[in-house]
Structure 1
């Protein structure tokens, strides 16, 4: 985990250094010009790396999809972004949906890293899981529902934009069902673990008393 954090900070430092070097070497151009050069190089590099992963290293994305619900979520997200860019409107709704969709992603990835390093069944793992569930419910269900209501009653967004918002919110409820099931399993597992620890403490106390 620490190695990944160090690597991420190193990459950030390299991109920032690249930008500052461009500003010095290419000083006759504006800051935005040099920033977009960095973005261009970053985009080309990202395409090359992901292309290598998909076509050479594997797995092939068309034969190993993430599942129908997640695939629908990503498909609608991509179509929504393309639609707002093409229309040149409803950008704020698209940004809000992306914000609400991705705000729980860091916790989800942290959970995966904790599992890989054998630290998931710890206090930190419980904190990450609880934070994920609470943040999902607040942002995707309550805040998302409020935003959807404002979008539906507003005359400005187009009809198909509103339909897309309804579809994304419906998907959030599909995810919510899975999260509720996960929370129930997690709660039962936690209570079982606490019960086993309590029985172990009681047994140890009985043994000490007999000794």
Structure 2
């Protein structure tokens, strides 16, 4: 069983590496980050769909079945995502593109998914964490591509930012509380799984501080922009009124 899991993870890693290499070959005029972001976007879309299907349709329900044996669907999803995180961690280290918090997040994800695969249980709660974590990732990558192409300061950029903040706070923070509560109050998951789930949630809390700061700055920027436009409009109207007399 362990050998099969290792083979699947290695195959997953090679798939993501091949996708990155193909993208880099086709887009040599762009930076390596462009291709890495492209791979991250594809991973986020695929894994969000699959983890949502596993959690909501295939089952078992993560809030009522933490610590239960892994299903075939959960194993396949974890192998697919683990291969990606190994690839992306290596890329981030090679290009020194991320801060320590993001690297720690990758390390926790790698050890968490790898441990659950070797343990053979707790796939339901880890799958749920993948879902609430990765559902915002495509939006983050789309935001980067909008910036890279000069289309970020538009309605599309505002919609992407709003959806990202709402989904992050609604699913990763509020939904994450339910997952953590279900795992900690269940007698089935071992203490390593419980500690890992709690640590991952604490990392999300740290990210929340940055996201809330970003949301506040953007809202204030929009407010000042609107107020300046309004003041200019009132000034123009006043000038027109004076000139009319």
Q: Answer yes or no: same fold by TM over 0.5.
A: yes
Equivalent position of 1:123 in the other structure: 155
Answer with 1 or 2: which has the greater Rg.
1
Tell me if 1:61 matches 2:101. no
Q: Take 1:198 and 1:208, find their aligned partners in 2: how far apart are those partners?
A: 15
> Comparing 185-194 with 114-123, which one deviates more in the overlay?
114-123
List alignment gaps of at least 5 residues for structure 1.
Answer: 1-39
The residue aligned with 1:199 is 231
Shift of 1:43: 5.8
Q: Secondary structure at the match of 1:61?
A: helix
In the aligned structure 2, how far is the partner of 1:100 from the partner of 1:133? 13
Note if 1:143 corresponds to 2:175. yes
CA drift at 1:184: 1.2
3-state secondary structure, aligned to 1:155: coil
Summarize deviations over 1:49-71 as a string: whole Å, max 9, x none.
Answer: 54797xxx698734514101111
Render the CA deviation track for 1:165-184: whole Å, top value 9, x for unaligned. 01000001000110111111
Deviates more, 1:123-132 or 1:159-168: 123-132
Change (3 A) 1:203 1:117: farther
Deviation at 1:84, TM superposition (A): 0.8
Structure 1 counterpart of 2:198: 166
* 2:132–2:171 CA contact under 8 A, matched in 1: yes
1:47 deviation in Å?
A: 2.7
For 1:72 and 1:43, how far apart are their aligned partners in 2?
Answer: 19
Q: Does 1:208 align with 2:240?
A: yes
1:74 deviates by: 1.1
**Contact 2:136–2:168, Cα closer than 8 Å, also in 1:** yes
Tell me the equivalent position of 1:90: 122
Q: CA deviation at 1:208?
A: 2.9
Look up the match of 2:107.
75
**Residue of structure 1 in register with 2:68 after alignment:** none
**SS of match in other structure, 1:121:** coil
SS at 2:96's partner residue? coil
Distance verdict in 2 for CA 1:51–1:115, change over 3 Å: closer
Q: Which has the higher contact order (CA 8 A, sep 6+)?
A: 2
> Is the 8 Å Cα contact of residues 111 and 125 (structure 1) preserved in structure 2?
yes
CA distance in 2, matches of 1:79, 1:173: 20
